[in-house]
Amino acid sequence: MTFDNEVELSKVARSHPSARMLLGIAADSSPSAHPSMTFGTTLKSCRHLLEAAKEQAVEVVGISFHLGSHALEPQTFTQALAAAQLAFEMGTELGYQMQLLDIGGGFPGTEDSRARFEEVAAVINSALDSYFPEGCGVQVVARPGRYYVTSAFTFAASITAREELPAEQPDSSEEEAGSKRSFVYHLSDGVYGAFGGLLFDSPCPTPRLHKRPCPEQPSHGSSLRGPAGQAEDCIAEGLQLPELQVGDWLVFEDMGAYTIPSTPQLGGSAQPQVTYAMSRLAWKPQPLLPGKASTARRRPGERLRPAVLRVGDGRDPLCHPSLHPSQHHLSSPG
């Protein structure tokens, strides 16, 4: 178990005195985009908390930290491991058998950042060699959850409402081209559902238009929000998108971390979600003969493995020319 303040320490000492504890430290000195989601004590407070644990006969066996994924720079791990090594020394001086180091998670996991993940891994291994070399008796663990699920699925959301914001007063350079237009688009899901990661430290994936726009179609300043009537449900700001209409679809790739089902209690739609199970190949447009399903790129006898994709709110299902009726699979959000 982990603690980073005296209140949590006292609760553990009272309810589970035989627990083996890790002291959580806030190793990253840069400000978090979400201060309420920052955990860990400062390095200055480590000795005081370790002494408090000693007084309450709580066994401390190691140090943990979690940098998260906001603006993660590989060198930040070097600073965190250096701080952890100092905290280890404090614990050893007080007589603790320090043997476990938890370096947290938040590792990049999208396809376009695999090289960066290797860079992060190289920096971590180099810092471990310096501060916790092999044979020092310290077990190192990590939490690579985000690395595995950041790109778990592709999400498609429909536009359920839109607002055109009042045009700003054009300056002299804009008078000939006309004033700029900007739009707010409300989607069928929001931060209380598929975009729940925005409440933590996940950036919003860049949306892709399901319909290919005309090359001459201009782009406008655009904001994306959740279902209408929820002012705090902000998904993305400052996007440049062509003018969209109600019923158009936006596709978000690399979705997965912190995704939660939409429920009325959390402000989501009261309508049931519709889940389609389809293969990645089936999602790609393929020419179809009348009344026949596409068999392009499918080897004889091969069954296409489904990948779950939640779309819309159940009232306007996403139709795709390659999705044969036999491939439909409807389920509840669970």
Average pLDDT for 253-268: 62
The reported pTM is 0.66
Please indicate, yes or no, if residue 332 is contained in any of the structural domains. Answer: no
Among 7-16, 139-148, 288-297, the least confident range: 288-297
pLDDT per residue over 154-167, tens digit each?
889 999 999 998 87
- Within 10 Å of residue 296's Cβ, how many Cβ atoms? 11
Domain identity same for 144 and 176: no
Task: Give the residue numbers spanning the domain of 9.
Answer: 2-148
Q: What is the CA 33 to chain-centroid distance, rounded?
A: 13
Identify the pLDDT of residue 19: 95
3-state secondary structure the chain: CEECCHHHHHHHHHHCCCCEEEEEECCCCCCCCCHHHCCCECHHHHHHHHHHHHHCCCEEEEEECCCCCCCCCHHHHHHHHHHHHHHHHHHHHCCCCCCEEECCCCCCCCHHHHHHHHHHHHHHHHHHHHHCCCCCCCEEECCCHHHHHCCCEEEEEEEEEEEEECCCCCCCCCCCCCCCCEEEEEECCCCCCCCHHHHCCCCCCCCEECCCCCCCCCEEEEEEECCCCCCCCEEEEEEEEECCCCCCEEEEEEECCCCCCCCHHHCCCCCCCEEEEECHHHHCCCCCCCCCCCCCCCCCCCCCCCEEEEECCCCCCCCCCCCCHHHCCCCCCC
Query: Of the ranges 10-14, 19-23, 168-172, 218-222, which one carries the lowest mean pLDDT score?
Result: 168-172
Q: Are residue 89 and residue 176 in the same domain, yes or no?
A: no
187: pLDDT confidence band, cut at 50, 70 and 90? Answer: very high
Boundary residue ending a domain (120, 148, 176): 148
- Return the CATH number at 202: 2.40.37.10
Mean pLDDT for 306-329 is 43
Q: State the total domains in the chain.
A: 2
Using one digit for the tens of pLDDT, what is the confidence trace for 84-118?
999 999 999 999 999 999 999 888 887 766 668 88
Lowest mean pLDDT among 66-80, 120-134, 145-159, 256-270: 256-270
**pLDDT-derived band at 260, boundaries 50, 70, 90:** low
Q: Are residues 230 and 140 in the same domain?
A: no
- pLDDT higher than 80, residue 125: yes
The CATH number of residue 32's host domain is 3.20.20.10
Is the same domain home to 260 and 143?
A: no
Query: At residue 327, does pLDDT exceed 50?
Result: no
pLDDT number for residue 166: 84
Give how far Cα 273 sits from Cα of 62, 196, 313, 315, 331, Å.
Answer: 44, 16, 5, 9, 8
What pLDDT digit, counting tens, does each position of 131-156 carry? 999 999 999 999 988 888 888 888 89
* Contact present, 49 and 23 (Cβ < 8 Å): yes
* pLDDT interval class at 61 (50, 70, 90): very high
Sequence-distant (≥ 6) Cβ neighbours of residue 80 within 8 angstroms: 27, 28, 65, 67, 103
Q: Would you say residue 312 lies in a domain?
A: yes
Residue 77 and residue 65: Cα distance in Å, rounded? Answer: 10
Q: What angle do CA 75, 78, 79 make, to 5 degrees?
A: 100
pLDDT band at 322 (very low <50, low <70, confident <90, very high): very low
Domain boundary among 125, 148, 171: 148
Contact 143, 165 (CB under 8 A): no
Tokens of 91: 């614990």
Q: Could you tell me the pLDDT band of residue 70, with boundaries at 50, 70 and 90? A: low
Is residue 333 in a domain?
no
